Every structure is written in C-alpha cells, then in structure tokens.
C-alpha cells in the first residue's frame, strides 16, 4: 500500500464524510434500531451534537438468544428513511454473510462486530460488497490478529476499512471491557488504516463515555462512535451506556474543542 495513512470516505456521492488522519469523525446513534420514531429522534440528537455518520443496529449480535435480535430488513428500511430525513450516512452491522447484499443495498458502511472479527467468510463477503467496512476488534484479539482480519477484506480488493477499538476482555470487572487506548498509536504506526474508538461498548456505562472519548481524542484517534438513545431506560439494547441530555452536550463540547489537525 502507498506510504502514509489512508482516508476512507463514507456516504453517497456528493455527500461523503471522511474518516482518516486529516479530520476527527464523530459517529453516533442508537445501539439498536427499535422504531422509526426512536431512530429518527436518536439521529437528530446525534446530528445536533455534531455527529456526521449515524450508527444503528438492525441485526443485533446478542449474547442471549432470547434478547432482542434486531428488526432485520425492517430496521434497514428505517435507517434508509432516517438517512433521507437527516442527510446522515449510515453504518450498520452485518452478522451473517448471507445478509451482506441486503445490508450493503441499504447502508453506506458495513460494520463487522467484535464477535465476528474472525468470521473469515463474513469478512470476505463484506470485502466483496463494494462498501466501506468498519471492523471492530475482537474482544480477545491481539492487534496482529485484528490487522490480519482486515487483510481478509483487503484481499478482496476493498481497502476502505476503518478499524474500531471497542475494548478487550481483561480480569477487571469494573468496566464491561477494558478500553485498550494504546491500540490507537500502535495501529497508526503499523497500518495505513484509520482507527476510531467505541467508548460506549468498551465501558458499558454512560458515565465513562465522555472521559474515554476525551482519551480517544487525546491519543489521536481518527474518530469516536457513541451510543445515544432518546429514552435509555426503556432501550431494548445496552441502555446503560446510551447518552442523552447533559452527557451528550459534554461530549459535543469535548469534540468541538479538538485542536485543529495540522
Ligand atoms: C455494536 O456496535 O452495536 C456492537 C454490538 O458492538 P461490539 O461488536 O463492539 O460489541
């Protein structure tokens, strides 16, 4: 690959958002798409806080098979409607290689979650889909294993991969995962790919999202991806980590105070 770090462009022609070294990209939205109203409300909250890409899961990889699994295609349609209403490009997770074509038809960027980082058939299918890919770090993956997972996508001719550090399993139970902030400079020294941080899924607690976002900014991450929800207490997925109100305003202020990229 060429020398230097890459920028990945997300969105439809004429309205593309960069993720890379010359900017700091703020992605936000609900953990799961639950209803059209909830998704639109979350998107408007995200946009008002300065987010330029909307996240939201239509296919949810839940630990329990009895937990809400996502709305599937109906959720993708809601996301496409919310993109039309807000102008925000969409990133959404795909958990099964068979769903890659339908997800790619609706989304601007495909997300591969932590549980599927080493699902090589899914990585290859995502690599063939013709859309940028957000590749989260496996919760027990080394940085080298994560970069090799990215190679499975790149090998299909798709170099538009953004890495996402979302915390790893350690012995520490105070947070759901331990955010490995050192992964950011290590990856930037090793790979040309942009790297963003997900403080919401790392901590699993909303009170840590703003401090960890500040850490991501300080360490030089290329962006953050954060959960927001208009009513976290009734969220069908990961409510305790979702921001709204003052917390979201604090985050927006932290992002706005970013020093200019030189
Ligand atoms: C998500 O972003 O919705 C998600 C489930 O994240 P992770 O794969 O990092 O747990």
How does pLDDT run across 102-137, given as a tens digit for each residue? 999 999 999 999 999 999 999 999 999 999 999 999
CB-CB contact of 1 with 192 (8 Å) = yes
Please give the ipTM for the structure prediction: 0.99
Mutate-to-test residue for ligand 1 from 29, 31, 116, 169, highest number of ligand atoms within 8 A of CB:
31
Report all structural domains of the chain as residue ranges with CATH numbers, in order of start. Answer: 8-256 (3.20.20.70)
CA distances from 221 to 23, 171, 185, 186 (A): 10, 25, 8, 11
Q: Whose CA is nearest to atom 8 of ligand 1?
A: 113
How does pLDDT run across 224-262, given as a tens digit for each residue? 999 999 999 999 999 999 999 888 998 999 888 877 665
Measured in angstroms, how far is the CA atom of residue 122 from the centroid of ligand 1?
A: 16
In this prediction, residue 114 carries a pLDDT of: 98
Ligand 1 close to Cβ of residue 196 (< 6 A): no
Q: How confident is the model at residue 2 (pLDDT cuts 50, 70, 90)?
A: low
Ligand 1 close to Cβ of residue 229 (< 6 A): no
Measured in angstroms, how far is the CA atom of residue 67 from the centroid of ligand 1?
A: 15
Ligand 1 close to Cβ of residue 131 (< 6 A): no
Q: Whose CA is nearest to atom 10 of ligand 1?
A: 114
Ligand 1 close to Cβ of residue 166 (< 6 A): yes
Q: Whose CA is nearest to atom 3 of ligand 1?
A: 31
In this prediction, residue 258 carries a pLDDT of: 77
Ligand 1 close to Cβ of residue 93 (< 6 A): yes
């Amino acid at each position: 690959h060429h020398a230097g770090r890459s920028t990945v462009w997300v969105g439809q022609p004429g309205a593309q958002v960069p993720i890379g070294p010359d900017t700091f990209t703020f992605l936000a939205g609900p953990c799961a798409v639950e209803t059209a109203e909830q998704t639109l409300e979350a998107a408007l909250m995200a946009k008002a806080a300065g987010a330029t890409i909307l996240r939201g899961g239509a296919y949810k990889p839940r630990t329990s098979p009895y937990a809400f699994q996502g709305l599937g295609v109906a959720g993708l349609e809601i996301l496409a409607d919310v993109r039309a209403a807000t102008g925000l490009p969409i990133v959404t997770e795909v958990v099964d290689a068979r769903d890659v074509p339908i997800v790619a038809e609706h989304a601007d960027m495909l997300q591969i979650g932590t549980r599927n980082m080493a699902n090589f058939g899914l990585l290859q299918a995502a690599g063939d889909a013709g859309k940028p890919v957000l590749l989260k770090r496996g919760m027990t993956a080394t940085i080298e294993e994560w970069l090799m997972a990215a190679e499975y996508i790149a090998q299909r001719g798709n170099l538009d991969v953004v890495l996402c550090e979302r915390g790893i399993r350690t012995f520490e139970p105070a947070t759901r995962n331990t955010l490995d902030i050192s992964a950011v400079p290590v990856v930037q020294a090793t790979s040309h790919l942009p790297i963003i941080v997900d403080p919401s899924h790392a901590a699993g607690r909303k009170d840590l999202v703003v401090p960890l976002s500040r850490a991501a900014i300080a360490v030089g991450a290329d962006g953050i991806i954060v959960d927001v929800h208009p009513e976290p207490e009734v969220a069908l997925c990961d409510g305790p980590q979702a921001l709204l109100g003052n917390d979201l305003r604090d985050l927006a202020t932290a992002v706005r105070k970013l020093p200019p990229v030189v």
